[in-house]
Amino acid sequence: MTAPDPRYRPCVGVTLFNSAGRVFIGRRRGKGAFDIVADPYLWQMPQGGVDAGEEPFAAALRELHEETNVSSVEPLGEHPRWLSYDLPPEAMDKWKGKYIGQTQRWFALRFTGDDSEIDIHAPGGGKYKPEFEEWRWEKLSALPDLIVPFKREVYLNVVDAFTPFATR
């Protein structure tokens, strides 16, 4: 696996499919002064940073659990490339020049648990700060129209790569 461009914050993303081939999406909570996102672009799949020395797949499982409480999964696939996006100028203050955007490694996982396992309000039994205020299962093909425009190209790549997993 090629190392990501150091100008971009290394991250992972999770496309979590249920048994009906739908994908978990969460409606983001506000991020305070750094939040530049508005309706209808508040929905996204679980994602987050890769810690120093952490393998991307381990980071994906960790981030999924931290954001959704989900741990009942089986791997389906991995996007073959790191997918990057640049942050718009109004969002650059968050990292104060350290990064120009994010680069993400995406993983497709099948949710093998029951919906009652999903807890976005107190993930990890309340150990983690909630990232989402609501969630739903959505058609994979609908996701690019629900994400902030500067991440749309990444989502189009994810949809293209993971469409075979949308049906069982």
* CA dihedral sign of residues 144, 149, 152, 153: positive
**Distances from the Cα of 41 to the Cαs of 13, 67, 98, 130, in angstroms?**
17, 18, 25, 18
pTM for the whole thing? 0.91
Under the phi-then-psi rule, with left for phi > 0, alpha for psi from -120 to 50, and beta for the rest, what region is 53? left
Q: What tens-digit pLDDT sequence spans the chain (168 residues)?
A: 556 688 899 999 999 999 999 999 999 887 654 455 566 678 999 999 999 999 999 999 999 999 999 999 999 999 999 999 998 876 666 656 788 899 999 999 999 999 999 999 999 889 999 999 999 999 999 999 999 889 999 999 999 999 999 975
Pairing between β-strand 73-78 and β-strand 132-138 as defined by DSSP bridges: unpaired
Residues of 25-54 as b/e, b for ≥16 C-beta within 10 angstroms? bbbbeeeeeeeebeeebbbbbbbbebeeee
